[in-house]
Amino acid sequence: MNIIVAKNAGFCFGVKRAVKMAYEQSEKLHEKTYSYGELVHNPQVVKELEQKGVLKIDHINDINSGNLIVRSHGVPKNIISKIKEMNLNLINCTCPYVISVQKIVEEWYNKGYDIIIVGDKNHPEIIGINGYCNDEAYIVNSEDEADLLPQFNNACVVSQTTNTIDKFIKISKIIKKKADNIYINNTICNATKVRQESAAEVASSVDIMIVIGGKNSSNTRKLVEISKRFCNNVLHIETIKDLSLQDVQKFNTIGITAGASTPDWIIKEAVEAMDNLNKDEMMEAIESSFTRIHRGEIVKGTILYVTDNEVMVNINYKADGIIHKDELSSDTNVNPKDLFSIGDVIDVCIIRIDDGEGNVVLSSKRVEAMKNWDVLEELNDKKEEVECKVLTAVKGGLTVNVMGINGFMPASHVSVKYVTDLNQYKGQVFNVKIIDLDKEKRRLVVSRKEVEREELNKKTEQVWDLLEVGAIVEGTVQRLTDFGAFVDLGGVDGLIHISDLSWNRVKHPSDVLASGQKVEVQVLSLDKERNRISLGLKQTFEEPWIVFIRDVNVGDIAEGEVVNILDFGAFVRLKEGVDGLLHVSQISKDHVNKPSDVLSIGDVVTVKVIEINEEEKRISLSSKDLDSNDEESNIAETNDEESIEDSFEITNEELNTTIEDVLKEK
């Protein structure tokens, strides 16, 4: 006798979770615990729970205190509210798949959509779901019932989680023709779908198919229905006591599957009874039908279900796996539905065998990360750069992500420059060097400063190779000091001493330059060992004195600006940029006590060059001589038209007035 156990049989993760929570609660003997209806459609499980003190009630009003378990099928929303109003301790064992359907119905009902549920209207799951749309849903369980539906403007369709996909598709096609705008949700539990497919596979290859499960279990009845499509001999039993072993002895190959409410011990009991002589072999057959998994192992899985916060995965184990949102991707803002679709085959890492609710905890992001640790080790050995993304600023530095692995960048390694605000780097991507890596301890420390330093050293070398004394180069003024200006030449700084800023005297570098200003300077000297570069700004212009002696001669008339006034005279800056002295005695033909009596700084004056001392670079100017020249010039012009005597004619009246004015002044 060859016995084949379906790979996916027995408790689904929702039922297993509910039963586990109920058993845990039953151990708390000091608290009264009740189950609102049968916890699962399995009389044996219900009876065992009653023996442990978990009593079934059919109405909330039957109790007034204690713990109340809501079964895996769920209940209407108003029941949950009433439980809370009665101050009962709610233990909600509703299957996560059912909760998902409830949320969909509530969301679309609130949007104004008519709700259509494909399923058995008397099933507790359907009754509970209907409670999330104010019990106003249209419930159909056949194509004939779907034909009787009215026309809808907006409709939302969901399914009982234990339906067959063929039935749901056929009914949905009919409903689709009756709505202008329709939203169809395939809410059939993928664990159910996989269990049904597994049953069909076994049924097609055996002589007799035995389906174990409660007579009232919807999903078990569907397994019977599916098995009959592929096998002529199908038996539905609740326990091995319902089976006549003589009836199955005549078959060579026996297939076994079980509904979602059937515990493992009932399956094992059936196998033992059918082949007691090969008990150990049968037990191994059951166990071997499931994949053996270990923490930290990477296995392949098929996506069963995707929600906004988690992904359910079939890993061919007796329990399904769950990937929480924070374990999907290194990007915490990612939407699971953007990453995976139902049916996708992916690699996952086993984090925990049981999360306390019967689920295997998985991670997809750690798969790539585990592979990338080896890559990072190799890159670290080669001292190569890696790309990192800054996640957030924390005390002492930045958290970063490198190839899916979280790491740390100390504040002192963020930049070669001092950084006051680390928050400015959030979300930025940098090339960094690994400065500490420990694969076993999962420690990764990186440095951006090391990369900047290497880049700076390369730039510095390139600049030094290009610089030569006497060359004219372009730079940017970085900062000003009392003694000069520092200029960035593209990676190295040079100094323009205050004496080399201008050919004229400069009180402060800010009188000539400003930070950030682009300038052309001449390289005066280079000292690579001491990293010193002397620059000159004035050397990029022709010396004003040379321009002056080339273009100006004694006797020339010039215009200039008064730039300084002393007791003995005023200094006038000519257009060539040189200063000449206008002695007090040369300011006017009239007596001038102090230059400041007649001149002010900023005045523009016309002067005559009366002396040039090239050796001492001194220039003497005169305004008085300029007046004489003007007078002589006027006389000369007058001679051309009338006599000199005529040019000095004055009337007696004018003469008397002039004398009176002089006497008054005295």
First and final C-alpha spacing in the chain = 151
Alpha-carbon distance of 609 to 372, in angstroms, equals: 83
Give the C-alpha distances (Å, rounded to integers) separating 9 from 46, 141, 189, 316, 610: 19, 25, 14, 11, 118
Q: At what angle do helices 190-203 and 218-230 cross, to 10 degrees?
A: 30
Q: Tell me how crowded residue 487 is: count the other CB atoms within 10 A of its CB.
A: 25
Radius of gyration of the chain (CA): 49
Active site residue 125: yes
Q: Are 159 and 117 in contact (CB under 8 A)?
A: yes
Q: At what angle do helices 279-288 and 264-274 cross, to 10 degrees?
A: 140
Number of helical (H) and strand (E) elements in the chain, helices listed first? 19, 32
Alpha-carbon distance of 453 to 363, in angstroms, equals: 38
| Residue/partner pairs of 479-486 with CB below 8 Å, 24 or more apart | 479/515, 480/508, 480/509, 480/510, 480/513, 480/514, 480/515, 481/509, 482/508, 482/509, 484/509, 485/509, 485/512, 485/513
Per-residue DSSP letter, 568: T
Give the C-alpha distances (Å, rounded to integers) separating 558 from 476, 571, 583, 623, 636: 36, 14, 16, 10, 22
Q: Are 322 and 314 in contact (CB under 8 A)?
A: no
For 73-138, the DSSP string reads: T---HHHHHHHHHTT-EEEE---HHHHHHHHHHHHHHHTTPEEEEES-TTSHHHHHHHGGGTT--E
Give the C-alpha distances (Å, rounded to integers) separating 302 from 293, 344, 633: 15, 6, 110
* CB contact burial 598-628 (16+ within 10 A = b; e otherwise): bbeeeeebebbbbebeeeeeebbbbbbbbee
Q: Which of 27, 50, 125, 474 is catalytic?
A: 125
Parallel, antiparallel or unpaired: strands 618-622 and 579-583: parallel
Which residues form the catalytic set? 125
